[in-house]
């Protein structure tokens, strides 16, 4: 997977992209990240990337010229998506991350700032808008980093035990089951006996029921989706 990130703050990504599982995946070239600063594509001496909105209003907008030029400077792969990080976009979830990991070889991520971007970027350049949820952040780098992380961990070779990806939260519309490790008893709280029984069938049954119970109690929306598919 190739990620091209259009960002005013490339340094934002330095530490996260060199840390932990994602850092190791990039080192093994399971994925590649290319950071592009739209200021490098400005033509004025001040390298200005924002301006006042027509019609008035509070704040500044990112100008279209540097963004278009930055994106158009890239080598394009056939299976690509040009994504604007925007609170107006579709909400990011696990099925969307799976779709991006499965269907694309190149994700071009445009990080918004200020009051947003010139509408012509939305209408004539991007192919998709994605949001982390119904709230506003100071920059688009945070959701862009989230997509890089969420997609890369789904790529073959990133996670040591690929089987673990099939049993985590949001797979099959259920939250993950409770998990425990040693010691068997801590401050009077014991690990459920079934998990120490060695009976793999009983453990699987307990875990599935725990997933169902937890989803029903914590996420009625997911619970409704699961019921619809399984009743």
Report pLDDT digits (tens) over 22-62: 999 999 999 999 999 999 999 999 999 999 999 988 889 99
Question: What confidence tens digit (pLDDT) does each residue in 182-192 have?
Answer: 999 999 999 99
pLDDT at 159: 87
* Residue recorded with tokens 């590649």: 32
Task: Give the integer Cα–Cα distance in Å for 109 and 126.
Answer: 9
Predicted local distance difference test score (pLDDT) of residue 58:
85
Q: How confident is the model at residue 173 (pLDDT cuts 50, 70, 90)?
A: confident
The sign one gets for the Cα dihedral 59, 63, 68, 69 is negative
Please give the average per-residue pLDDT across 87-111, as a whole number.
Answer: 96
Domains of the chain and any CATH numbers: 2-152 (3.40.1280.10), 167-230 (1.10.1270.20)
pLDDT of residue 164: 55
Q: How many residues does the chain have?
A: 231
Nearest to 110 by CA among 2, 216, 4, 11: 4
Give the pLDDT band (50/70/90) at residue 84.
Answer: very high
Which pLDDT tens digit goes with each residue over 87-96? 899 999 999 9
> Could you give the count of Cα atoms lying within 13 Å of 140 in the half-sphere of its Cβ?
25
- What pTM was computed for the model? 0.87
Q: What pLDDT is recorded for position 198?
A: 95
pLDDT of residue 93: 94
Q: What are the residues whose beta carbons fall under 8 Å from the beta carbon of 123, sequence distance 6 or more?
A: none
């Amino acid at each position: 997977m190739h990620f091209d990130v259009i960002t005013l703050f490339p340094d934002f990504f330095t530490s996260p992209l060199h840390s932990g599982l994602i850092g190791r995946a990039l080192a093994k070239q399971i994925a590649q990240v290319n950071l592009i600063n739209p200021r490098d594509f400005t033509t004025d001496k001040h390298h200005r990337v924002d301006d006042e909105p027509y019609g008035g209003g509070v704040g500044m907008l990112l100008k279209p010229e540097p963004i278009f030029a930055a994106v158009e400077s890239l080598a394009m792969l056939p299976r690509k998506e040009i994504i604007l990080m925007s609170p107006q976009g579709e909400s990011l979830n696990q099925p969307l991350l799976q779709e991006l990991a499965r269907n694309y070889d190149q994700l071009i991520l445009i990080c918004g700032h200020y009051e947003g971007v010139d509408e012509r970027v939305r209408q004539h350049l991007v192919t998709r808008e994605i949001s982390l949820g119904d709230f506003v952040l100071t920059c688009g780098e945070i959701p862009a980093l989230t997509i890089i992380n969420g997609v890369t961990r789904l790529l073959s070779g990133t996670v040591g035990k690929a089987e673990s990806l099939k049993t985590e939260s949001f797979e099959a519309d259920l939250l993950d089951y409770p998990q425990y490790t040693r010691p068997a008893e801590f401050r009077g709280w014991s690990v459920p006996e079934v998990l120490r029984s060695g009976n793999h069938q009983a453990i699987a049954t307990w875990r599935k029921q725990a997933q169902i119970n937890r989803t029903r109690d914590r996420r009625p929306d997911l619970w409704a989706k699961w019921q619809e598919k399984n009743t």
